[in-house]
Amino acid sequence: MVRETSLSPDNFIYPLFVTFGKNVRREIKSMPGCYQESVDMVTKHAKEVFSLGIPAVILFGIPEQKDEIGSGAFDPHGEVQKAIRAIKNKVPDLYVITDVCMCEYTSHGHCGIVKDSDVQNDPTLELLAKEAVSHAQAGADMVAPSDMMDNRVETIRLALDEEGFPEIPIMSYAAKYSSAFYGPFREAAESTPLFGDRRTYQMDPANRREALKEVALDIEEGADIVMVKPAMTYLDIISDVKESFEVPVAAYNVSGEYSCIKAAAKLGWIDEERAMMELLISIKRAGADLILSYFAKDAVRLLNK
């Protein structure tokens, strides 16, 4: 009766990794229970996610070919575009969000176009807009830019409006920190940068006020939902953003947070279910309305018990 916070299946967004090929379901070594899946398999998986009561998924793509400008990102026959169409066809009521970024598609693994070893902000914007539009054309319900280029939300908003998708909302990775906790994801998405790191475009973990500035800019540019990422080590940021703005707040319980708990549990060093639920409720308590989490299925199974 007096419990202040509760988790519901409605709070979750489950990440899925789409790869090329057929009948592929490859477990990601550093993320037990998570898979790279071809379109046919990911569609089945999406059905399972929806049947558990999870309302939404977010799709990441692993293309067969990568190039300098990440052209696979806006290929109408790319794996993500195919997966969107297949999922919307087979599981029409599942809400399909797409991650909009270049790092999974570029040969160098950076989130934008590179010149002289530096990521070029402005030339990247046009490509991100093309990617977002191509996801919308395939039937995505919402796009989520995660690249951290300046001005990308406005560029994507204008492009979606122009191309006839004024109703497609944007969930921006607004306060995205440069984090070691993305390590396992980079194995999953095969997107580890070949040189350098993402510190020139992702945020410094030491900065708190800067997060509010990043979020304010994204809202001004048209973001409908703002995200804080990672979650576990940035609960103060989630709380600040929730207090300061009126839009829904999402938090990304990232790969490293998942893998740490899974690994400790495997060694018998921690109670997996309790640690998972404590982590998720703390993210909710901090102020997140939505939680992107690899734990979503496990947590919802427990909640449904």
Check 82, 130, 229, 262 and give the catalytic one. Answer: 229
Residue number, 149 or 219, with CB nearest to ligand PBG: 149
- Least distance (Å) from ligand PBG to the CB of residue 105? 11
SS3 for 28-40 is CCCCCCCEEEEHH
The binder of ligand PBG chosen from 30, 81, 255, 293 (CB under 6 A): 255
Per residue in 269-279, is it b (16+ CB within 10 Å) or e — as a string? Answer: ebeeeebbbeb
Q: Nearest to residue 291, comparing CAs of 254, 262, 256?
A: 254
Site for ligand PBG in 65-124 (CB under 6 A): 99, 101, 103, 111
Site for ligand PBG in 127-146 (CB under 6 A): 146
254 binds ligand PBG (CB under 6 A): yes
Q: 89 and 133 in contact (C-beta within 8 Å)?
A: no
Question: Distance between CA 157 and CA 164 in Å, rounded?
Answer: 11
153 binds ligand PBG (CB under 6 A): no
Residue window 155-184: x/- pattern of binding to ligand PBG, with contact defined by CB under 6 A: ---------------------------x--
Assigned token pair, 55: 């309302």
Residues 6+ apart with CB under 8 A from 255: 30, 31, 181, 182, 183, 184, 185, 188, 294
Q: Using CB atoms, what's the residue nearest to ligand PBG?
A: 185
Catalytic residue list contains 176: yes
296 binds ligand PBG (CB under 6 A): no
Check 66, 88, 130, 176 and give the catalytic one. Answer: 176
185 binds ligand PBG (CB under 6 A): yes
30 binds ligand PBG (CB under 6 A): no
Residue number, 212 or 251, with CB nearest to ligand PBG: 251
The neighbour count for residue 210, using CB atoms within 10 Å, is: 14
Assigned token pair, 141: 């319900």
201 binds ligand PBG (CB under 6 A): no
Determine the size of the site formed for ligand PBG (CB under 6 A). Answer: 12
Question: Which residues, listed in sequence order, are joined to residue 252 by a DSSP beta bridge?
Answer: 292
Q: 74 and 44 in contact (C-beta within 8 Å)?
A: no
Catalytic positions: 176, 229
Residues that bind ligand PBG (CB under 6 A): 99, 101, 103, 111, 146-147, 182, 185-186, 198, 254-255
